[in-house]
Structure 1
Amino acid sequence: MTISPLPNCFYSRPAKVVARDLIGCLLIKRQSNQRLLWGVIVETEAYSQEEEACHGYKSRNSKNETLFGEPGRLYVYLTYGIYHCVNIVTDKDDWASGVLLRAIAIPNENERIASGPGLLANRFGLNRSNDNCPISIENGIWLSQNPSATNMHEIIQTTRIGISKGKDLPWRWYLKTSRSVSKRSKGDRTPPRHLAWTPTPHKAP
């Protein structure tokens, strides 16, 4: 499997386009022992300056500055004073736009170990110190296409969760056949293990 990073032009598009296209891609991190920790992105949410739920909707300040910056960087913030949330900055400079990584499936690990923004950040060891970090191999964290993504099935588009504003926008996407999704839309049942999609261990980058 290739470990080539996604090109910068991938991120220079509206958040809702990038969010959909990130489903099935790999998040890869080089750990302190030089081994690679990786997983498949199975759930994302898009946020953009024109809508109320975006951190940059009302103003630009020291806390959300990264979100207004160059696409292809990490925007990491703390929510409820406890949980870190990892976002990918998208679109263009001077426009707050990003994609929240909500869930990742990691091979050979518990299917729920990264099924939520806080769990994901914790498993990959990402926190505020990674805020504004360019996504690149040189910086030890990057995203790559997943050749086996063609074996994935239906992607669900639905409304975002855990927010009080902009709740009606259908800006969340997730892989229907994954058991690692943080929360399924109403009426969508978790697939049984024998029918669920899982990342293949021998396909490691």
Structure 2
Amino acid sequence: MNKKKILSRSFYNRDTVMVARELLGKLLVHETPEGRTVGQIVETEAYLQGDPACHAARGETKRNSSMFGPPGHAYVYIIYGIYSCFNVVTMPEGTGEAVLVRALEPVEGIPLMQFRRKREKLPELCGGPARLVQAMGLGINHNSIDLTSGALVICQGVTPENITVTNRIGISQGKDLFLRFYVTGNKYVSRK
């Protein structure tokens, strides 16, 4: 992947809601010994420090310390004891905000994604935070890594024509906040 296409740290060092919207259409690229997988980001959710659903709402802990780190790093955590979720840290260091990547449209390395997910149908590969992590070969070992260089990066993609804004899903607190963004009409979105 051309280094010029990798998003710079300044892209992430901005308002979290803006980053969540502008990540749509960008490409998540992961180089592994098994091969390269690429997915276009089609759904995100913003998590803000004062938000009751945000892991940083009660301050910094060992689990969420990556959220308070430099922008442009990954925040990966485990839910339900088995699934991982991939987030992108935003805002200046010390703020504690991130964007959850909820769904990808598979672009490259699809056979590898199918093998990892043990699924053939493309919409089942990356339509949800835990699914996309599995398909892309990500895990807790990717927590805190720099997304501006190395084997896991986010690159320029396309700008979607239409974006739908809704309330977030899959949470119990702060679900009334309209902080979920997805590419309108995209069949790879986790839930319409």
| Length-normalised TM-score, structure 1 | 0.83
Instruction: Determine the structure 2 residue equivalent to 1:20.
Output: 21
**Does residue 1:164 correspond to 2:165, yes or no?**
no
**1:117-136 → structure 2 map (5 Å cutoff):** 117-136=129-148
- The alpha carbon displacement at 1:125 in A equals 1.1
- The alpha carbon displacement at 1:50 in A equals 1.1
What are structure 1's unaligned runs of at least 5 residues? 185-205
| Residue pair 1:153, 1:177 contacting (<8 A) in 2 also | no
Rg comparison, structure with higher value: 1
Instruction: Determine the structure 2 residue equivalent to 1:203.
Output: none
- Once the two structures are aligned, what percentage of the paired residues are identical? 37
- The alpha carbon displacement at 1:8 in A equals 0.8
Which of 155, 158, 161 matches 1:144?
155
Deviations 1:62-102 (A, max 9, x none): 01101011000000000111210000000011111000000
Secondary structure of 2:107's aligned partner? coil
What are structure 2's unaligned runs of at least 5 residues? 111-121
Question: Which amino acid is the alignment partner of residue 114 of structure 1?
Answer: C
Question: Which amino acid is the alignment partner of residue 20 of structure 1?
Answer: R
| Residue pair 2:13, 2:71 contacting (<8 A) in 1 also | yes
User: Which 4+ stretches in 1 moved above 4 angstroms?
Assistant: none
| Residue pair 2:9, 2:148 contacting (<8 A) in 1 also | no
| Residue pair 2:8, 2:148 contacting (<8 A) in 1 also | no
Deviations 1:83-129 (A, max 9, x none): 10000000011111000000000137412200000001101111111
- The alpha carbon displacement at 1:153 in A equals 2.8
Cα distance in 1, alignment partners of residues 141 and 40 from structure 2: 23
Secondary structure of 1:107's aligned partner? strand
| Residue pair 1:74, 1:133 contacting (<8 A) in 2 also | yes
**Does residue 1:174 correspond to 2:151, yes or no?**
no
**Structure (1 or 2) with the greater strand fraction:** 2
Question: Which amino acid is the alignment partner of residue 70 of structure 2?
Answer: E
Deviations 1:21-77 (A, max 9, x none): 0000000111214x4211100000000111111001012110110101100000000
Q: Paired residues, what number?
A: 179
For the aligned residue pairs, the C-alpha RMSD in angstroms reads 1.5
**1:1-205 → structure 2 map (5 Å cutoff):** 2=2, 4-33=5-34, 35-107=35-107, 109=110, 110-137=122-149, 139-146=150-157, 149-150=158-159, 152-184=160-192
Cα distance in 2, alignment partners of residues 94 and 39 from structure 1: 29
| Residue pair 1:26, 1:38 contacting (<8 A) in 2 also | yes
- The alpha carbon displacement at 1:133 in A equals 0.4
Secondary structure of 2:132's aligned partner? helix
Secondary structure of 1:57's aligned partner? coil
Secondary structure of 1:111's aligned partner? helix
Cα distance in 1, alignment partners of residues 128 and 89 from structure 2: 19
| Residue pair 1:14, 1:97 contacting (<8 A) in 2 also | no
| Residue pair 2:163, 2:181 contacting (<8 A) in 1 also | yes
Deviations 1:157-183 (A, max 9, x none): 010001111111100000112101001
